[in-house]
Structure 1
Amino acid sequence: MLALLFWTGAALAQDTSGTDAAVSLSAASAELKRLFDEDQAERAPVPGKATDWGTVMLRDEARQQRVKDLIASGNLSTGTDYYHAAMVMQHASEPDDYLLAHDLCVVAISKGETRAKWLAAASLDRFLVSIGRPQRFGTQFRSNHPSRPPALRPVDPNVPDQLRRELNVPTLAQARARELQMAKDARGDKPVGSATK
């Protein structure tokens, strides 16, 4: 009888600890969603208001540190958790953080989170550009001067468009067309036949 009471008590303790772990993972998922939403809101342009990128960078760093803390404590569970963490990390400023974002995307995809496909390509491209190598997928555009439009960073010509399509990335021709459009927009070019005021 005493053994039965001991076993029942141990089982109840295990059930409670499992519930605590589930609550902890649920809370972590909610926090990752909040961090993701804040990250995205920082990047949504507000008409007529310039973005203070210095302030955004400071908030980015705080969010990135919190994501790293959640990763270190083993609190990521779902594909969505990994995707949210990856999005925050890919806005970092260090190559290792871009690589971490890529790794998080790989796990997210393996858990069924298809939104992480494009981000897997973009975070790998960002990593490669940051270490001075050509990007693979053509997701990264940068300007060397505030008055110049962003230009497509060098792209490895050996990566086929089939891989881009599988990762929900525009073809290389589409990326080059986007680069041309950004240059036209920066110059203020009007489409042929458009009215001028």
Structure 2
Amino acid sequence: MKQPLLVLLLLLAACNSTSSKLEQMYSTGLHDRQQGVFASLEATYEERQESRRAKVRSFIAEAKLESAEDHVFAAAILASSPAPEDLAAAQRIGLRAAEMGDGRGFRVAAEAIDRQAMHAGSPQRYGTQYYYEEVLQKWRLYAVDPHTTDAERKAMGVAPMAQLMERTEVLNSQVR
């Protein structure tokens, strides 16, 4: 009788763990973005993302990130921020996830690096960022540093330049 109760209590505790909360926040944010190519441009989406980022900041302040996966989810959530300090944290936490053995951390770090460059008005390094050009009603790949090689992209979990350009066509086919 005591063992089933103990198992139940452990399961309940796991449901409220930082890991499960981070995974849920990440999944919810991903679901929000997948509602269409314009979903991430809506104000309500940004409000929900900011709420998720605030929770991640509190987890970081309380040193609650433990596993590599925790680091990946936290970094991915922060990488959606326009704030330089969040993007720097996303880069750092993503690289930490990679150090801990989760290769997805490299990709998240690349996204944070590119967003930092984009917000500074510089070409992105890896090619992870796209923007919607209202006048043309088309998605565009934000300017990419021509000195970055496909090998460097691959090391960070980013597709080769040719595939990045193809992604633009896919995005634009969804607009029509």
TM-score (norm 1): 0.73
- CA distance in 2 between counterparts of 1:86 and 1:186 reads 28
Q: Is the 8 A contact 1:125 1:140 kept in 2?
A: yes
Aligned-residue offset at 1:91 = 1.4
Map Cα deviations across residues 76-124 of structure 1 (whole Å, 9 max, x no partner): 0111000010111111222221221111100000001112222221121
Q: Does 1:33 align with 2:23?
A: yes
Name the counterpart of 1:102.
Answer: 91
Identity across the alignment (%): 25
Are 2:42 and 1:53 aligned? yes
Larger-Rg structure: 1
| Maintained 8 Å contact 2:96/2:105 | no
RMSD in angstroms over aligned alpha carbons?
2.4
Report what 1:14 is aligned to. Answer: none
CA contact (8 A) 1:96 1:127 kept: no
CA distance in 2, matches of 1:35, 1:123: 18
Runs of 4+ in 1 over 4 A off after TM superposition: 180-183
* Aligned CA distance change for structure 1 residues 181 and 58 (closer, same or farther; 3 Å): closer
Deviates more, 1:89-98 or 1:64-73: 89-98
Deviation at 1:181, TM superposition (A): 5.0
Distance 1:182 1:61 in 2: 25
Q: Secondary structure at the match of 1:150?
A: strand
Q: TM-score, normalised by structure 2?
A: 0.81
Change (3 A) 1:150 1:72: same
Corresponding residue for residue 64 of structure 1: 53
Give the Cα separation in 2 of the matches to 1:134 and 1:55.
29
Distance (whole Å) between structure 2 residues aligned to residue 143 and residue 149 of structure 1: 6
1:31 & 1:180 partners in 2: Cα distance? Answer: 35
Letter in 2 for 1:36: Y
